[in-house]
Amino acid sequence: ADYVLFELPFNLKPPMLEDVIFKMNVNGYRPLLAHPERYIYFQDPKLRELKRLKQSGIFFQLNTMSLIGQYGSRAMRTARALIREGMYEFAGSDIHREQQLPVLKSAMQNDYFLQLLSSGRLLNAQL
């Protein structure tokens, strides 16, 4: 599959986001949004914007460390809600330093991560 992993600005939703997703889909690419739980404008308890985006044919990749509050409580709550709603297809780490490995290990032992792993929804569960 031709997935295109992309990320967005954290504080301001790009006005052309839906157009870009549409164009990727039309051209045979599969848009994969990195860490949707971390974008401030998507941190709605009801996940309204993210549910709307999901209908446009986008895939979501969890930043696993979000599950234990590494990026704040709002990102953590949003990540957990996305898992409850079955909206992630991928999981990743966004690790930049070896010192972050213990945090990742802790996140991978989190009940929400284990729930996601056992859901059968992850397309990269073997990584």
Q: What is the pLDDT of residues 4-26, one digit of tens each?
A: 999 999 999 999 999 999 999 99
Across the beta sheet with 90-92, the strand order is: 3-6, 30-34, 59-63, 90-92
**Residue 127 clears pLDDT 60, i.e. is over it:** no
Beta bridge partners, 33, equal 6, 60
Spatial distance between the Cα atoms of 18 and 101, rounded to a whole number of angstroms: 34
Percentage of residues in the chain having pLDDT higher than 90:
86
Mean pLDDT lowest among 84-93, 95-104, 108-117: 95-104
Mean pLDDT confidence for 77-95: 95
Amino acid letter for position 53:
L
* Predicted local confidence at residue 126, as pLDDT: 67
What is the pLDDT, as a whole number, of residue 95?
84
